[in-house]
Chains A and B, each alone.
Chain A
Amino acid sequence: MSPIPSPGTLTTLERLEAEAIHIIREAVAEAERPVMLYSVGKDSSVMLHLARKAFHPAPIPFPLMHVDTTWKFREMYEFRDATAAALGIDLIVHVNQDCVEQGINPFDHGSAVHTDLWKTEGLKQAIDRYRFDMAFGGARRDEEKSRAKERIFSVRTPQHQWDPKRQRPELWHLYHARHAPGETLRVFPLSNWTELDVWEYVRRQEIPVVPLYFAKPRPVVERHGTLIMVDDDRFPLAAGEQPEMRMVRFRTLGCYPLTGAVESDATTLDEVIDEMRNSTFSERQGRVIDHDQAGSMEKKKQEGYF
């Protein structure tokens, strides 16, 4: 950021940064037990960076929580643990033990059941268990249509449900976190950011991100027209199927069997940003779960998906 902006000429990125910091401070000031949901992706990296800025020179006054599915990319786990250690952050990792016991996985149970039980149910469990009353999430309104209408401070019922018809009006910079016992809030500091804004900010601020965003030869197989990386030996290969080394990277990160890779030569941040500017596909296009049915994200959100 340029250190001395001339009056009235803050750039888009400077305004988005200031707004996100304001949101984070406001939420923490009004919540009793805040937590930041940390999914290890680029949006989480940016949100974490903004949280550090919001309270500098004091440390972040809340823990980070990763709702783990045990099916993330190995590089994500390495990055997560290295980040927490380097920044001295209080990191909670929550794993849904019911899923562990039942061996829920995307291959036998399908992407919908897998995501619902590991992520949606896992998140509900974790929030109930630690009695958090407010959770930051890195969701952006440009990702998906139903998110375009969600508030920055979004109330969930004690059953963790979102009711799009009962949202609170948000005027000016006035957000409030008051809620009944049992209700919780989701707060989205990156609501007004686009995917390009996130990458521009990562570049400007030199924020570390998982190396999976950069192209390199990785072992992949093609399933239903989507390139899936064979990240470990739990991946059931069909008879005679051989993973193939291809130059690929990822635009979004999730469970590795559910995340499509894109073929790419972009090995640096500049190349990634250039490639994205020229892309004619949206970022969630690589996500298997969004295509299950029309309006599927809205349905998932009403049920308690983040």
Chain B
Amino acid sequence: MAATTVPAPHSASAEKDLLRFITCGSVDDGKSTLIGRLLHDSGLVLDDHMAALERDSKVVGTQGEALDVALLLDGLQAEREQGITIDVAHRYFATDRRTFIVADTPGHEQYTRNMATGASTAQLAVILIDARKGVLIQTRRHSHIVALLGIRHVVVAVNKMDLVGWSADTFAAIEEEYRQFAAGIGLAEVTVIPVSALHGDNVVAAGANSPWYTGPTLLHHLETVVVGDDAAARPLRMWVQTVIRPSLDFRGYAGMISAGTVRPGDRVRVLPSGVETTVARIVTFDGDLPQAVAGQSVTLTLADEVDISRGDLLCAADRPAGVADQFEADIIWMHEQPLLPGRPYLLKHGTRTVSATFGHPKYQVNVNTLEHLAATTLELNEIGVCNVSLDRPVPFDPYREEPETGGFVVIDRLTNVTVGAGLLHFALRRSQNIHWQAVTVDRAARVELNRHGPAIVWFTGLSGSGKSTIANLLEARLHAEGVHTYLLDGDNVRHGLNRDLGFTDADRVENIRRVAEVARLMADAGLVVLVSFISPFRAERRMARERAGDVPFLEVHVDTPLAVAEQRDPKGLYAKARSGELVNFTGVDSPYEAPEAPELRLDTTALTAADAASAVFDRLRADGVV
């Protein structure tokens, strides 16, 4: 079998085009069997792989003595043993007409993440339906994700037709139901094919069992479908990856063209700066090009000396992208740790990485029904709509118009893991219309009047560690020295500004965000601000430090072992937490992340409160604040 079909000698990847597609279906739909069948029946399984398949089919196969073609796909050993595909796997095959890259994405509920990943680079999706079961909730889920990621071409393979006796009526009913549903979610190009992956009917060759079906086989459709790639016809977009400067005479901007066509002489606008110039040359290793199109990696030189660096976007001057720092976006959450509104994350968008915070979700989308649900956060594999706020303006297009300038990934700042992905809808009007108000009385003027500089002293530590006691003593000492101060205390702020917040992780993050903002405003007003908050998470303390900007920021770790703090228990809180009366209590059932490099660490088992306060005062003096 494997040796009978051999690619024709003239059909080389140097001449054929490429179709990237994903396959979606759940464990029982026979997805791996379908792809295995495609490869096997098109003669693309090589003899040694075939021998391994025959061997494995007998040992771990699920088809008795028959070949279990699904085993061609399930790659990792652990997955083979469990009989499931747990990650995106890529397959490569070619026929006389086309080359194909298949992203095989797992279908069960907890892996929305993998499907979105596979869908982000696909031009077409194959969705499997079990003929015995018809359109299921999971079919809808797969279709919604396909629609969300903007894949325009869908093939529905109605599998296991042999198990419904090749009933034309069953097929027609499923096709009718799916088409109605697809039209409702904006999937226009839908092809429905009855198949038996196990036996091979209508996968590569037409089956004798379905004389009533006159459409194409799956492979024929994949080989001939026109996936009109209109990217070259859209306005030019190119993210600058790197500046190439071998000598003083050459300065080129290297990148992959995301959309459009470029020729020497074209006017381009550089974003976010907005500067315009003209393309001089399209430089490649193989010589200069008269034009380049979407999908090519090139180096452009420009007619004028302009300041361009990595992360800038080159656009068609007459149809540039937008620039903004606040957006609405779809967010697909991909990590076990839920999205924390207000926590600073990194966002990689094109070749630019910026700091970003997310607002509370406006709603979460039930991917099975498209219903909007209220949500305070997003958990793993949940999709919702949030506002995103960046630390600086970035170039963008709506994802629907230009995926490469409208899609981004979200990165955790501490673990560097990619925790989510986002699709930009539009810029928020407020960010475009509210401008920074310049003021005439500035920091220097206030310092001169106060005769001391501003600072933020951030006390962090367990409940009962002695933060408030030390902060009080320090404030009294500063006051006596004529320093303008203010003490922000965790308990007090929770009675007023933050009384709407509880003690969940999300609320703790928002609690600290507000306090950090207030501390910054007060420091800007010239005060030495003492902040006494448990502030258990590193990420939020880091945010507070970053919000402080160039105001001196002293992180003071009031370091008291849990056992000691619990023994002191001045407010009786540990006792309540241990008895279960109080939940999410730091140190008991909520973590405390100790600072890694605080400016000061006060060991309260060795220092008195007065000594500790003096140590902070001395540090402020040494730093020239007071």
Residues of A within 8 A of B (CB): 1, 3-5, 7-19, 21-22, 25-26, 28-29, 52-59, 141-142, 145-146, 148-149, 164-174, 176, 178-180, 191-192, 194, 196-197, 200-201, 203-204, 274, 277-282, 285, 294-295, 298-299
> B564 → chain A, closest Cβ, in Å?
31
Which residues in B have their C-beta under 8 angstroms from that of A294? 77
* A239 to B578 Cα, complex, angstroms: 78
A279 to B46, Cβ gap below 8 A? yes
Q: Is B66 an interface residue (CB 8 A)?
A: no
A55 to B90, Cβ gap below 8 A? no
B351 to A7, Cβ gap below 8 A? no
Stretch at the interface among B140-148, B183-191, B265-273, B292-300: B292-300
B353 to A200, Cβ gap below 8 A? no
Which residues in A have their C-beta under 8 angstroms from that of B351? 26, 29
| Secondary structure type dominating chain B contacts | mixed
* A256 to B377 Cα, complex, angstroms: 57
Which residue of the partner chain, among B90, B353, B415, contacts A148 with CB atoms under 8 Å? B90
B48 to A281, Cβ gap below 8 A? yes
- 23 A/B residue pairs, CB under 8 Å, sorted by A: A8-B231, A8-B232, A9-B17, A10-B17, A12-B16, A29-B242, A29-B310, A56-B244, A56-B283, A56-B284, A57-B252, A141-B90, A141-B92, A145-B75, A148-B91, A149-B89, A164-B76, A169-B113, A170-B117, A174-B350, A194-B94, A200-B13, A203-B14
The 10 closest A-B pairs by CB, nearest first: A7-B232, A295-B77, A145-B75, A58-B246, A21-B297, A171-B120, A178-B416, A8-B229, A53-B285, A12-B13
> A28 → chain B, closest Cβ, in Å?
7
A281 to B47, Cβ gap below 8 A? yes
Which residue of the partner chain, among A11, A192, A281, contacts B14 with CB atoms under 8 Å? A11
Which residues in B have their C-beta under 8 angstroms from that of A274? 9
Q: Closest chain B residue to A58 by CB distance?
A: B246
Q: Is B421 an interface residue (CB 8 A)?
A: yes
Contact with A along B12-29 (1 / 0, CB 8 A): 111111100000000000
> B595 → chain A, closest Cβ, in Å?
17
Which residues in B have their C-beta under 8 angstroms from that of A295? 76-77, 80
Which residues in A have their C-beta under 8 angstroms from that of B411? 176, 178
Contact with A along B323-360 (1 / 0, CB 8 A): 00000000000100000000000101111010000000
Residues of B within 8 A of A (CB): 2-3, 6-7, 9, 12-18, 46-49, 75-77, 80, 86-92, 94, 99, 101, 113-114, 116-117, 120-121, 228-233, 241-242, 244-246, 250, 252, 254-256, 258, 261, 283-287, 289-291, 293-297, 299, 310, 334, 346, 348-351, 353, 403-404, 407-409, 411, 415-418, 421
A282 with B49, Cβ < 8 A, contacts A149-B75, A174-B407 known: yes
A169 with B418, Cβ < 8 A, contacts A11-B13, A164-B87, A277-B6 known: yes
Which residues in A have their C-beta under 8 angstroms from that of B89? 145, 148-149
* A15 to B77 Cα, complex, angstroms: 32
Which residue of the partner chain, among B16, B289, B296, contacts A18 with CB atoms under 8 Å? B296
B256 to A21, Cβ gap below 8 A? yes
A174 to B408, Cβ gap below 8 A? yes
Which residues in A have their C-beta under 8 angstroms from that of B120? 171-172
> A196 → chain B, closest Cβ, in Å?
6
> A29 → chain B, closest Cβ, in Å?
5
Which residues in B have their C-beta under 8 angstroms from that of A179? 416
A282 to B46, Cβ gap below 8 A? yes
A4 to B289, Cβ gap below 8 A? yes
Which residue of the partner chain, among A8, A22, A167, A171, contacts B116 with CB atoms under 8 Å? A171
